[in-house]
Structure 1
Amino acid sequence: MADRLAGCSRAAKHRGCGSNSGYGARRVVDRLRLPICTTPRRCLGPSNWILIAWSPMHTVYDAPAREPATLNLPFYGASFGASVRRFFRKYAVFTGRASRSEFWWAMLFQYIVGTIAGLVLAVVVIAVMASVILGADQTEPAGTVLKATVASTLVMVVGLGVFTLPLLLPSIAVTVRRLHDTNRSGWWYLISLIPFGGYALYVFTALETDAAGSRFDSEHSLPQLEHTAS
């Protein structure tokens, strides 16, 4: 088995397994006729790529994925760090495409930021309310409650603006690019404005890549990345 896996790794180098598509690796698996199994079968070769064969279909992934040299192209198999970096570098880019990994890692990043922001705001609001109540005249409880409510509301509004507004534009942009990757117009984003439309939008963003979506790629070149995968 070890000889077979080593041969698989050597053959993969000549068949282009390092590409994002993974088709070279799939041909290697089919040629070797690896048995279909009900659990993932992993092959670690000298070149550090992984084959995972699932039953009943041969779905093969190679790792690590290679990042495109420019921001024009989507990054399939992007890591969390690469997705967040591209999320901000393409801050207001509504042309081109975004892979599923780019989109969902960006969503996770926003969820983490939102959770931390919510906890911080909760602590600040409680501290403001306590400060107003303890420092107010205790003979007028109604006025004290009103002042505390107004102060906490102002803090909440300002805090939400500080944390969410900087992420709003890139969030819309990456969603539009993800729709492009499924060969859908970015105007489908407006479906989120109707009741339950947001659920349909997330279904669209979870769909597989459609090669026809390349029609949305920008004709203007975006800046090259400073560091690209070898």
Structure 2
Amino acid sequence: MTQGEGTPFDTQPEWPSEPVGATDPGDLTLPLYGATFGQAVSRFYGSYARFSGRASRSEFWWVMLALTVVAFLCGGFVGAAGEDSALELIAMVIMVLFLLGCAIPGWALLVRRLHDANLSGWMSLLTVLPYVGIVIQIVFGLLPSKQLGERFDRR
């Protein structure tokens, strides 16, 4: 008798190879694997300060790209405004407001990304370490999704 013919070896449970994700981009309770740029940014602001649940790698990296591009554009606008001008002051205020407005949702996104990799969200505090914080955030963003991370979902 071979293993495929109904032997006791067939009693082993089958586990899905991938964690369960959202099929509808509007469902913010589960991560959206393979999210597009627009979907990721929309979900980022829709889950503004939600530290529970999970976020996929695509959600994380699309948002990081968007935030980096906007920060560089704001910095370029501040630099082009010239010194000691009212335009420079306005550009600085807009840039600071943008950075403050994205701090909490960015931190929440990193916590949800850590949850998807089956790690504690408290590990996000390692990003405040001088000089290595950005490297840690990149490493956390590259971690693969794990099925055990589903324990952080609210059902």
Is the shorter-chain TM-score for this pair beyond 0.5, marking a shared fold?
yes
Q: CA deviation at 1:204?
A: 2.1
Q: CA deviation at 1:157?
A: 4.9
The code of the aligned residue for 1:161 comes to V
Which residue in the other structure is 1:172 paired with? 107
Q: Which 4+ runs in 1 deviate beyond 4 A?
A: 154-157
Larger Rg: 1
Which residue in the other structure is 2:62 paired with? 105
Q: CA deviation at 1:75?
A: 0.1
C-alpha distance in 2, partners of 1:155/1:191? 33
DSSP-derived class of the 1:109 partner = helix
C-alpha distance in 1, partners of 2:140/2:93? 33
Structure 1 unaligned runs (5+)? 1-20, 22-64, 133-150, 220-230
C-alpha distance in 2, partners of 1:111/1:157? 16
C-alpha distance in 2, partners of 1:113/1:68? 24
Which residue in the other structure is 1:81 paired with? 38
Structure 2 unaligned runs (5+)? 1-17
Structure-2 change in CA distance of 1:155 and 1:69 (3 Å): closer
Q: 2:136 aligns with which of 180, 195, 200?
A: 200
1:73 and 1:97 in contact (8 A); partners too: yes
Q: Percent identity?
A: 43
Q: CA deviation at 1:118?
A: 1.0
Structure 1 position 186 matched with structure 2 position 143 = no
Structure 1 position 90 matched with structure 2 position 47 = yes
The code of the aligned residue for 2:54 comes to R
C-alpha distance in 1, partners of 2:24/2:58? 12
1:191 and 1:198 in contact (8 A); partners too: no
1:182 and 1:205 in contact (8 A); partners too: no
Which residue in the other structure is 1:210 paired with? 146
Q: CA deviation at 1:162?
A: 2.0
Q: How does 1:117-132 map to 2 (within 5 A)?
A: 117-124=74-81, 126=82, 129=84
Q: CA deviation at 1:191?
A: 0.5
2:54 and 2:115 in contact (8 A); partners too: yes
TM-score w.r.t. the length of structure 2 is 0.76
1:72 and 1:218 in contact (8 A); partners too: yes
TM-score w.r.t. the length of structure 1 is 0.53
DSSP-derived class of the 1:91 partner = coil
The code of the aligned residue for 1:199 comes to V
Number of residue equivalences: 134
Structure 1 position 115 matched with structure 2 position 51 = no
1:67 and 1:78 in contact (8 A); partners too: no
